Structure 1
Amino acid sequence: MTASTPPPAPRRALTRADYDRFQPLVRRLAMRAARRVPSHIKAQDLMGYGWLGLVEAFSRAEATMADEEFEAYASYRIRGAMLDYLRSLDPMARALRSRSRHVSRAIADLTKSLGRQPEEEEIAKALGMELDAYRETLSDIGKAGMARLELLDLDKVDLVSEAEAPDEEVSRQGMAGLVAGAIDKLPERLRQLLALYYQEECTLREIGLVLGVTESRVSQLHTEAIHRLRAALRRE
């Protein structure tokens, strides 16, 4: 007799009070993004996608998640939904964006099923690719600028933005904590790469000399590291 599968953890329910609570944040992020995109892209459209991101956050987050952690996670999802919308407007980026999502999804699924970080050969196999093809995909994604550690793209301060509200600052700090925790779980080589690139501000060539690989290989490893972080933040 096989053991029964445990029921899924309960999820948070989106209420009217939550709508009122997050409305100012969604609006601020949409207005801030609208000031940095072409005028035909309306803040109202960005807000709509921001709400979709919030709904997604509620559908994925477990009810037991601490409020501060959830606020950070919800902010991440709101920003991500807006960014996805902006990226979808570029036809040339859609195919690469889809491939990027597939990589993150494969890593998330493998991590869950294996109970550990997957090897790159396992990721390639899950994607139905040869290892060289998988690495080439990472190169293409990296060259398109779709692999960055700055996960809070829409929260950068611009010349005309007002001071950050306290709830945004808390969300930023919480998000930084989530990212730091995800980095700690990366393979040592990728942790070293991220530290050299973002903390020591080394060039890809300099990192290659430290790791003993080519500059192009460093770019591939960097892209893979970012996708591993995104997979860890999926909260499936």
Structure 2
Amino acid sequence: MQSTLSKLKETGEALVKEYLETRNERIKAKIVEHYAPLIKNIVGRYNLHYSTTLNADDLYQFGILGLLKALERFKSNGVPFHAFAYKRIYGEVVDALRREGMIGRDKYEKVRKLETAVKNLTASLGREPSTEEVCRALDIDEKTYYDILNTSLLVYTTSLNTKISDDEGDFIYRIDTLTDESAMSPEEELENLDLKRRLKEIISNELSDREKIILALYFYEELTLADIRKVINLTEARISQILNQTLIKVRVKLMK
């Protein structure tokens, strides 16, 4: 028996196929309605607590813009529209965050400095440093520390959604240029396998049960922060903090 998710995807693909054949505006409206939950899911994966200019409704509108752009640019070529649209919806949301200053070179540099401080303190102390120790090392207060943490999730999850020019002078997202694993050289395959092995070891041996659960719910189940809150009974802000701290921890251990 087909799953509900599978049936929903098939319905969406059928609507897109009909729209591309007819260019009927009524069908386009149905497509927007059909993919609204996907847009809300993408928007709900970001903690906008620190933004003074953007809210979830704003990002939702940018997500719709990404969906409509995907619809106009879509050419099947064996790629499902759901996968094609996801990256472009996500890209428009990321662009909005970047324009509003929530992502930028200065934010990237602050995250890198935080990573370096945690790495150095871990080496010198022989254990993970406390928040207070990291703040002293960087000469920042706790609020600034959590501001940087909030940025770290954006840094780690948006680097592959930077726009670059394609051969026709239009733009594509960097994630579209990645080599398929089946086309990797033997050396690249070994490096990829080693990275996956190290990542699996870190998650299995270095993270607490709560950290493992939050990572799994966010990255594997692709739940929003609000949905994760229902599962583990913490505030969205606290879940975001734990998620960001866990990502910093994993990154630092991978840097060894």
Question: What is the CA–CA distance in structure 2 between the aligned matches of 1:155 and 1:171, rounded to whole Å?
Answer: 20
Are 1:140 and 2:151 matched, yes or no? yes
Q: Who is 1:107 aligned against?
A: 118
Question: For 1:200, which of 213, 221, 226 is the aligned residue?
Answer: 221
Task: Return the alpha-carbon distance in structure 1 between the equivalents of residues 220 and 210 of structure 2.
Answer: 15
1:222 is displaced (CA, Å) by: 1.7
> Aligned in 2, Cα 1:160/1:209: closer, same or farther, shift over 3 Å?
closer
* Structure 1 residue aligned with 2:78: none
* Larger RCO (CA under 8 A, 6+ residues apart): 1
Q: Structure 1 stretch 105-114 or stretch 121-130: which is displaced more?
A: 121-130
Alignment partner of 1:126 is 2:147: no
Partners of 2:234 and 2:137 in 1: CA distance: 25
Q: CA deviation at 1:231?
A: 1.0
Contact 1:104 1:231 in 2 (8 A): yes
Structure 1 partner of 2:210: 189
User: Displacement of 1:218 after TM fit?
Assistant: 1.9
Q: Deviations over 1:32-90 (max 9, x none)?
A: xxxxxxxxxxxxxxxxxxxxxxxxxxxxxxxxxxxxxxxxxxxxxxxxxxxxxxxxxx9
Q: 5+ residue gaps in structure 1? A: 1-89
Say yes or no: does 1:172 pair with 2:192. Answer: yes
Matched residues, number:
143
Q: CA deviation at 1:150?
A: 9.4
Question: What TM-score results when the alignment is normalised by the length of structure 2?
Answer: 0.47
Larger Rg: 2
97, 112, 121: which is aligned to 2:108? 97
Query: Given residue 169 of structure 1, which amino acid in structure 2 is its aligned partner?
Result: E
CA contact (8 A) 2:111 2:151 kept: no
Q: Deviations over 1:145-195 (max 9, x none)?
A: 2034999x9996759868222221121111011112222313443222112
CA deviations over 1:94-119 (Å, ceiling 9, x no partner) = 21111001111111112112222223
1:214 pairs with one of 235, 239, 247: 235
| Gap regions ≥5 residues in structure 2 | 1-98, 163-172
Secondary structure at the residue paired with 2:104? helix
Aligned ranges 1:46-65 → 2 under 5 Å: none
Q: Taking structure 1 as reference, are residues 187 and 127 closer, same or farther at Cα in structure 2, changes over 3 Å only?
A: farther
Percent of aligned positions with the same letter in both sequences?
A: 29
CA contact (8 A) 1:117 1:186 kept: no
- Report the TM-score, using the length of structure 1 for normalisation: 0.50
Distance of 1:118 and 1:186 partners within structure 2: 15
Q: Could you say if the C-alpha distance between residues 193 and 175 of structure 1 is closer, same or farther in structure 2, counting changes exceeding 3 Å?
A: same
